[in-house]
A and B are shown apart, each in its own frame.
Chain A
Amino acid sequence: MINSLKFTFIVALALLLQQTLLPYWLADPFQPNLLIIFVVYLGLRGGRRGDWLLALLLGLIQDSFNGIYLGMFGFTFLTIYFLLRSMADRLYTDNMQLMILVTFIATIGAGLLQLVLLLIFSAADGLYASLFSGLLPQGLVNALAASLIFSCSIFSFLEKGR
């Protein structure tokens, strides 16, 4: 119960930062996507039975505030989660640098996956130009945000007892 409350509080805080405060202070392509950092954490250090649902929920929450295509982030986050879950046992996830690198790669991967989805399912021509120009800065900013978040270990409660 307390863990659920903690999780809700952290997600709400991240959303508030992401949607209201950070866009005001940070230039356009340098806005972090804080929720994907949670997904990376869940994928690499989670492992509880319902974590995939959390990843999906995070994606749907992100969908509710970004773009107009509900389910796009949901799918992307879920895919990222499962990919990371399948690799987590082979990676030394206690290493913070690795976590940061994976966050960067996950951001780029999620962006590319979204591009494919948008090109297939929507008529958004020319989207690749703005996506490519925004992807690398966002990846770097996410990596920076991940380094701060992981160093604080604010969601160690999500980890499965290891």
Chain B
Amino acid sequence: MWELLKKYRLVIGACTICLMVLVFYSLNLRHKREATALERTLLGVLAPLAGGAASITQGIDRMWSDYIDLVNVRAENKRLRASVTSLNGRILANQEAILANERLKKLLQLKDAVQAPTLAASVIGEDGSPWFRTLIIDRGEEDGLREGMAVVAAGGVVGQVVKVAAGSSRILLLTDHASGIAAIVQRSRARGVVKGKGGDRCSLEFTVREDDVKVGDIVITSGIGQIFPKGYPIGEVTMVKKGDYGIFQTIEIRPAVNLMRIEEVLILVKQPHD
């Protein structure tokens, strides 16, 4: 008998354990809703660890998903920025094209109105010194320019070509102190010479006191001197002062063309006397 038990001890042991567990199980069936001491202990011990682990897992999960989101958002942001930049560029280019179109249209109208042959030029530089008023344009001797030619824009007179190089020239603006243009007041036909006063100002000199000149009068070229054809607007009278003595009156003129922001000009290639 002993020998038999010894021979089958493993099987017997296993069956006994299974039976005990089965008994344990059957005994607990009645208290299936309540936690046993063992369950409570294990839960008590494991709960904080499980909580920590859960937090870490959630954290990692959140971090991962946030990172993925962030990567997506960043990529999307980049795309949107590029799109905004491109659209802004297009808007600016469109606006610039519209403005250039308007300017060139005016210049073309002027070109059609002018009898003499003309040449359009773009301004490529300005005088860096505050007390001189000159511009650099992109046309020169190769284009047929010569010193002394008249320069006009859509609004009126700009100045004269003074220094001509092969592919560029300089324009002496009518506001430069060295500039002088024979002029008449359109309404009263009073004569004078428009001289530059620096900045953005000119004056009508040598107009006698008796001549009728009022604020708001338009001053035009007189054609005397044969540089500018007759009738081009030079500017508008902004101030008239007649002193108690003296032969001439003091007249200030605001140029018809905004010389500070001029971009394209028209050069009258053929002189009136040619």
Contact = CB atoms under 8 A, between A and B. Distances in A.
Interface stretch (A2-10, A14-22, A41-49): A14-22
A71 interface: no
A33 to B, nearest CB: 6
A137 interface: yes
Contact of A67 (B124, B134, B199, B260): B134
B198 interface: yes
Contact of B162 (A68, A124, A127): A68
A130 B128 contact: no
Q: For chain A, what secondary structure do more than half of its interface residues adopt (helix, strand, loop), or is it mixed?
A: helix
Interface string A67-81: 110000000000000
For chain B, give the interface size range: 20 to 34
B131 A131 contact: yes
A125 B130 contact: no
A28 interface: yes
B124 A20 contact: yes
Given A65-B125, A68-B162, A29 B130 contact: yes
Contact of B260 (A28, A65, A111, A131): A28
B130 A129 contact: no
17 contacts: A20-B124, A20-B126, A22-B128, A23-B126, A28-B260, A29-B130, A33-B129, A65-B136, A68-B178, A123-B178, A124-B178, A127-B177, A129-B197, A130-B198, A130-B199, A134-B130, A138-B130
